[in-house]
Each structure stands twice: as C-alpha cells, then as structure tokens.
Amino acid sequence: MSQEWPGLEGSEWFNGKSSSENYDEAREYLDNWIEETVEHGSTEWDSPRYAYYYITPLVLLRDFIADTTLRRRCEMMLELTLVDYAADYLNGSYCGAHSRDGDGAVIDPRKAEVTSYGQLYFTDSIDFVLPDLAYAAMSAWQCPSIIRAIAHDRERTFVHTEAKRSRAKMRFSTERYTTAIRYNYMTPDYCLGSVSSGVHQPIQQHSWDITFAANHPTNTLFALHPTWSARELGTFFPEEPDLMVAGVARAKASYTNENKWIGASPHEFVAQDSNVLVAVYDIPDSDVVQHVDVFISKWFDSVNVNPSGWIFARMDNALVAMRVYADSTTLITESAGLRLRVWPGKANELFDNASPTTGAIVIVCQSTTDMTFGEFVNAMTDPYSIKRPWTPPQVMAGSAVSISNGAGVERTFFWRGRERGLVPRAASLALTFNGPHVASFSSTREPVPSGITMRFDGHARTLDFRSASVIESQEGQSVSR
C-alpha cells in the first residue's frame, strides 16, 4: 500500500505513520520473517489447511514489489515453501505431521486446500479449484521444473527431515519457541511420518500418520489422544486461559469433541526410525479424555483386527502391522472407516506405569510377490513362522522396546524420564532441511542455515538468502542470477 501511495504524510494514513515509515516497517517485517524462517524453521509448518495463506501473498509480493532485492527474496521464499511441500508429496497427498490440519482433510488428505496448489504447480490438470488459486494462476511466475520433479521422484526410498519451530509460547514455558523435528520415511507406496513429541501448535496439530500412494479416498492411518485444555490454549494465546475453551469451541466446534481427528496431546510421545514408529499415551486420571482413537480407512484392501492385539491392513502394495497395547478396545463403524477406541490400562505387557497408559508399535513395509496378505498376518503372529519379516517387540523393564525394522537393524525406543521419545534421527537441529532432494546450508561461519539446495538427477538449484541469489548447477557447472 505504501508503495502504491508514496509521499503521503502520517495524517493521511490510518496509523499516523507516513508512507516511507510504513514502507520501511513492512520491509523490515518481511526481511525478519524470511531470515527467521530460513535460519530456524517456520512456525506454521507443512500445513495442508493454511499453506495458501503463505503461497498466495508470496505470489503477489513477487509480482508487484518494486524493490528488486526484496522481490527476489520473496520469490525465493515462494520456492522454499513449494519445495517444502514437494519433498513431502506423494501422489497428491501432503504426507507426515502438520502444524495445522483440517477436520476433513486429516482423514482424506487429497481434500486439503493445498491440493489445489499442488495440482497447479506439480501436475498437468486441476480438478480441485479454490478461489484464491486465481492469484497464482494469473501470475507470470512459473514453478521451477526441479521442484515439480522432486514432487514426483518416488522411485527410491529415502528419509527426509526438517527442523521447524513451535508457535510462539506465552505461558508455561521457559522458551519462546521450541524445536519441532519432522521425520518422513518416503517410499513409492507409502510415507510414514511424524513430529517430535509435544504440543507445537494448539487445536489443529497432526502428529503422525501413514499416508498411502493408492488412488483411494481416506488413504491414511493414524492415532491420536483427542484431548483439550485451558493450559494448551493459555500456552499460545494471551487471553485468560480458563475463558478460552468455550470461545475456541464456538469457532472450532470439534475442539472439545472427543470424537475429533485433529489435535495434539501433552501426553503423547512419538518416536520413529525409518519404517518403525512407537506412539505412547501416558494419560493421567485428571485428563478430560481417557481414550485414544485409531483411524482405519474403509478403503483398505484387507483389514484384520486380530485378537492378539495386532491390527493388519493392506492398501495396494503397502502392508501395515500395528500392535496396540491396551486394557480394552471398542471397534466403531463410521462412514469413512473404522474407529478403534483404545482404553488405557495401568498395567499390561508393555507398560507398568501408575497412570493409565496405552501405546502402539507401527511397522510398515512394501509387499512382495512371494507373500500374500494372509501369509503376512501369519508371519507376524506365529512365533514359529519362517517367513516372519521382523523379530517380535522385546519389552525391557516397562520403559523401552527393542524391535527390528525388517532389514535386520535393531532399534530401541525409550519413553521414561529424560529419554522419553528418544530415537536415532538423521536430522541435526542446525539443519532446517536434510534429505536427498532438499538440504539447508550455511554460507558463513555461523551455525545457522543461510539457504537451501534442491537436487534432482544431477541438477542443483541453490537459494542463498544472504546474497539474495539463485545458483543453478549441472554436474559441477554453475550459473548465478
């Protein structure tokens, strides 16, 4: 606005500041936001619901800012936002954990608002159109081909990690921001993804899931503790905590609904290594919700809820084995699939905690031609099966579990004391992106990232935010602009 109407005195503006003051303030804000995001990770991360609140403004800033340096930096941020999406993209779905998700999209990922932009930038046709997409469609800006290629390069299996930040905390924390590590294990047939334990974003956080490449609706499986509290809201919002719950429930009706499918819990502890995930729910008696829910899509080709506590499922070439530890369970049929309601117990074969505790071990693999679904189920449940692809979970003193990931690699997951949620991770806290397609780097001696490099098929595209430059390279040859 100040660029459109330069030279006005403060008396002409609603805030009493002159055009030049408003312009300088806006530029300072944008520069600070860009630097914080590049160096420390975004606070609104990987959100299928709110991604367009970033994509659309960045498109407009890229198209209309007169200052060439700021315009280039905004264009680079647009690329960063889209490659962040592309690295987690699997056949139309935004995989892994999200800072905020929608009530419907969380169980049907391709119905998320961001899908409209994924179709525009990553595919050749659009059938999911949102009004805001018009700004992007009319822009002269084109998504770099390397970002589109990254979105579809799923021939191999890889781990992609990211360091993001929580929403700014106002109470109940000694730190304004805490680090949220996203971990995605991507294969051609599925992605198992999660975020480090904790409530990083109130109300709509989605902490872990399996997303399947299959062309079916509700192509996902996950669990959550559907709780809510004044403390959660008071951590992130300035109003009086005890007065906020009712107000939020009026605006977002699902918040205080025990049947909701979105939301984080301070009592959930998630650990993942490659295709194995452990989720522990240590729920105190004082919590308003005493159960955990598992979403099981009706579009699975096969489902077996085994009396032994195992849940087996198959969607196309992806096989899932989920061992649930609970006092009791209830299976509820709903329009989108099955809801497995899990009631924790104070003692079972995995836990010996004083408070009600439940948990699940999730193992996902790609099917082979020499094993049917029935053989897969038998292999996992029969201790004498010669086809069993993994060793049984080994519980150690009620505070850890050791399990093989199917490749003969043993991993131990802890959830007691300071080691709660600990798992070997490829991510470094200094790297906002770390994977084969996208990796952050530092161009100075400071231990914080100053940009990212995208890679695909021998081609690299580097965004250096310190110098506001884009460097293209192919097999050692580079060109800067």
What is the number of residues in the chain? 481
Which residue, among 195, 198, 163, has the nearest Cα to 427 in the 3D structure? 163
Residue pair 227/296 in contact (Cβ under 8 Å)? The answer is no
Judged against a pLDDT cut of 80, whether residue 356 lies above it is answered with no
Q: DSSP labels for 93-155?
A: EE-S-BSS--TTTTTSGGGSTHHHHHHHHHSS---S--TTHHHHHHSS----HHHHHHHH--S
Contacts for 253 with CB less than 8 Å, ≥ 6 apart:
none
Average pLDDT over residues 3-26: 95
Answer with the residue of higher pLDDT: 429 or 469. 469
Contact 348, 401 (CB under 8 A): no
pLDDT of residue 361: 87
Mean pLDDT along residues 262-287? 91
pLDDT on residue 359: 85
Residue with tokens 């084969």, as numbered in its chain:
436
Q: Is pLDDT above 60 for 417?
A: no
The pLDDT of residue 280 is 87
| pLDDT surpasses 90 at 7 | yes
Report whether pLDDT(385) > 90: no
Residue appearing with tokens 């998700």: 101
pLDDT by residue (tens digit) across 214-231?
A: 999 999 999 999 999 999
Range scoring the smallest mean pLDDT among 139-143, 277-281, 288-292: 277-281
Q: For residue 42, what is the DSSP state?
A: -
Residue range 291-343, pLDDT digits in tens: 999 999 999 999 998 877 889 999 999 999 998 988 889 999 999 999 999 99
Whether 426 has a pLDDT exceeding 80, the answer reads no
Residue 350, judged by CB atoms within 10 A of its CB (0-12, 13-18, 19+), counts as buried
pLDDT given for residue 372 in this prediction: 78
First-residue to last-residue Cα distance in the chain = 28
CA-based nearest residue to 181, from 208, 156, 155, 149: 208
pLDDT over 70 at 77, yes or no: yes
Residue type (1 letter), 13:
W
pLDDT of residue 260: 98
Confidence of residue 354 (pLDDT cuts 50, 70, 90): low
* Tokens, residue 78: 């647009």
Domain boundaries, the chain: 10-152, 158-419, 433-480
Strand partners, 333: 338
Report pLDDT for 423.
Answer: 44
In 179-260, DSSP assigns E strands to 179-186, 190-195, 208-212, 220-224
Distance (Å) of CA 278 to CA 98, 141, 160, 265: 18, 43, 18, 15
Q: What dihedral do alpha carbons 130, 135, 138, 142 form, nearest 10°?
A: -100
CA distance 347 to 362: 20
Residue type at 408? G
Confidence label for 59 from pLDDT (cuts 50, 70 and 90): very high
**Eight-class DSSP state of 283:** -
How would residue 396 be classed by pLDDT, with cut points 50, 70 and 90? very low
Residue 397 predicted with pLDDT over 50: no
Strands (E), 123-207: 158-165, 179-186, 190-195
CB 309 within 8 A of CB 348: no
Per-residue model confidence as pLDDT tens digits over 427-451: 444 579 999 999 999 876 666 789 9
Comparing CA positions, the residue from 294, 45, 81, 211 lying closest to residue 73 is 81
Strand pairing class (268-273; 93-94): unpaired
| Helix (H) / strand (E) containing 52 | helix 52-64
pLDDT tens-digit series, residues 168-212? 999 999 999 999 999 999 999 999 999 998 999 999 999 999 999
| Contact by Cβ (8 Å): 332, 338 | yes
What is the tens place of the pLDDT at every residue in 249-259?
999 999 999 99
Question: 119: closest CA among 90, 101, 155, 92?
Answer: 92
Is residue 395 a contact partner of residue 349, using CB atoms and an 8 Å limit?
yes
pLDDT at 240 over 90: yes
